[in-house]
Amino acid sequence: MIEINGKTRTCGIIGNPVEHTMSPLIHNTLSQMLDINMVYVPFPVKEDCLAAAVKGAYGLNILGMNVTVPYKSAVIAQLAQIDPLAQKIGAVNTLVRVEGGYKGYNTDMTGLLRAMKSDGVSIAGEEILILGAGGVGRAVAFLCAANGARKVHLLNRSVAKAQGVAAEVNKALDTTCVEAMALSGYQTLLGGAENRYVVIQCTSVGLSPNVGDVVIADGDFYHFVKFGYDLIYSPWETTFMKYVTANGGIAFNGLKMLLYQAFDAFELWNGCKVSDEHARRIYQKLRESVGAK
């Protein structure tokens, strides 16, 4: 039980909508486990109120905030400082209180990296396929290129959009490893048995209620997938994941990314470290909350 008193610090999440968020479960459970006097609540913010919300949060001594859609890029203009990785990605999901305002971080991407490491999956030296070149796909392309991927193939229905993102990432990181291509061109990547990829599904395809949908519905493609990450976590097993496992690969959903991006934010706010045991216990709580088997 959280005991709120005059020394309780407040954190929260701003976005629109935020009623569905699982972040309070993670942060308030962590606060109890670590005996930290902090509470975490959702703050729904209307589109024309973002600047006022950030300024008001600072005036109210809010310790930190997460930022969700549709404000991950728009919030940058309201920051006092920004972490270099978040600036390159062009998206912020965590605000940490500093003198005169907030510093922005992107713990979505550090959280994904931490989740992959916990699953024994490496980016360094791997050939990565990213499905989707929207905001999430763009951020994941930065993450992979910045962490030593041998090659990053960015597949999108609009090849022009993918080309723009690839050029941006390559320029920002002084690399040539990110390559854009049309989604329909995936067949050119299917070769010998040695060509097996880490595939990260970054679109909303497969979300409820359209749980039967999948970006690529071709079993031949999935023969070449050794690890498949779908950043969706509801439903628990997406059609993409079913294709991966049916063809001999190992599939993961986005729940651990949600978990670890929250841990990274919590650690930034409180100057602490979340243990593997705490991670295990909270991950189990999350699994139960989404009805995982």
pLDDT in tens, 30-62: 999 999 999 999 999 998 999 999 999 999 999
pLDDT in tens, 210-232: 899 999 999 999 999 999 999 99
Give yes or no for residue 293 having a pLDDT over 80.
Answer: no
Give percent of the chain above pLDDT 70. 98
**pLDDT tier, 120 (very low <50, low <70, confident <90, very high otherwise):** very high
Which pLDDT value is given to residue 2? 75
Cα–Cα distance between 148 and 43 in angstroms, integer? Answer: 37
Which pLDDT value is given to residue 193? 58
pLDDT in tens, 222-278: 999 999 999 999 899 999 999 999 999 999 999 999 999 999 999 999 999 999 999
Which pLDDT value is given to residue 114? 95
Give yes or no for residue 157 having a pLDDT over 80.
Answer: yes
Phi and psi of 168, rounded to 5°?
Answer: -65, -45
**pLDDT tier, 209 (very low <50, low <70, confident <90, very high otherwise):** confident
Which pLDDT value is given to residue 234? 87
Catalytic residue numbers read 72
Q: Do residues 230 and 254 lie in contact, with contact meaning Cβ atoms separated by under 8 Å?
A: yes
Do 110-253 and 9-105+256-289 fall under one CATH topology? yes
Which token pair is 159? 């090849």
**pLDDT tier, 292 (very low <50, low <70, confident <90, very high otherwise):** confident
Which pLDDT value is given to residue 272? 96
Task: Report domain 110-253's class.
Answer: alpha beta
For range 116-140, the mean pLDDT: 95
> What are the structural domain ranges in the chain?
9-105+256-289, 110-253
Which pLDDT value is given to residue 192? 65
Q: Where are the alpha helices (DSSP H) in the chain?
A: 23-34, 50-59, 84-89, 107-118, 135-146, 159-173, 219-222, 239-246, 255-270, 276-289
For range 180-187, the mean pLDDT: 94
**pLDDT tier, 3 (very low <50, low <70, confident <90, very high otherwise):** confident
* 127/293: higher pLDDT: 127
The domain 9-105+256-289 having CATH identifier 3.40.50.2300: the answer here is no
Which token pair is 8? 């309780």
- Examine residue 44 and say whether the peptide bond preceding it is cis (omega within 30 degrees of 0): no
Q: State how far the alpha carbon of 43 is from the alpha carbons of 137, 193, 289, in Å.
A: 26, 49, 21
Which pLDDT value is given to residue 191? 77
Give yes or no for residue 12 having a pLDDT over 70.
Answer: yes
How would you list the strands of the sheet with 197-201, edge to edge? Answer: 178-182, 151-156, 127-131, 197-201, 225-230, 250-252
Which pLDDT value is given to residue 291? 80
Q: Quick one: three-class SS letters along 79-114?
A: CCEECHHHHHHCCCCEEEEECCEEEEECHHHHHHHH
Where residue 175 falls (left for φ over 0; alpha for ψ -120 to 50; beta otherwise) is beta
Q: Return the axis-axis angle of helices 159-173 and 135-146, rounded to nearest 10°.
A: 40
Number of alpha carbons in the 13 Å side-chain half-sphere of residue 48 = 0
For range 3-13, the mean pLDDT: 95
Which token pair is 82? 């920004």
Output b/e per residue, 236-249; b: 16+ Cβ within 10 A. Answer: ebbbbbbbbeeeeb
**pLDDT tier, 208 (very low <50, low <70, confident <90, very high otherwise):** confident
For range 68-85, the mean pLDDT: 96
Give percent of the chain above pLDDT 90. 91
Q: Which of 166, 223, 175 is nearest to 199 (CA)?
A: 223
pLDDT in tens, 188-206: 998 765 679 999 999 999 9
Which token pair is 198? 């880490």
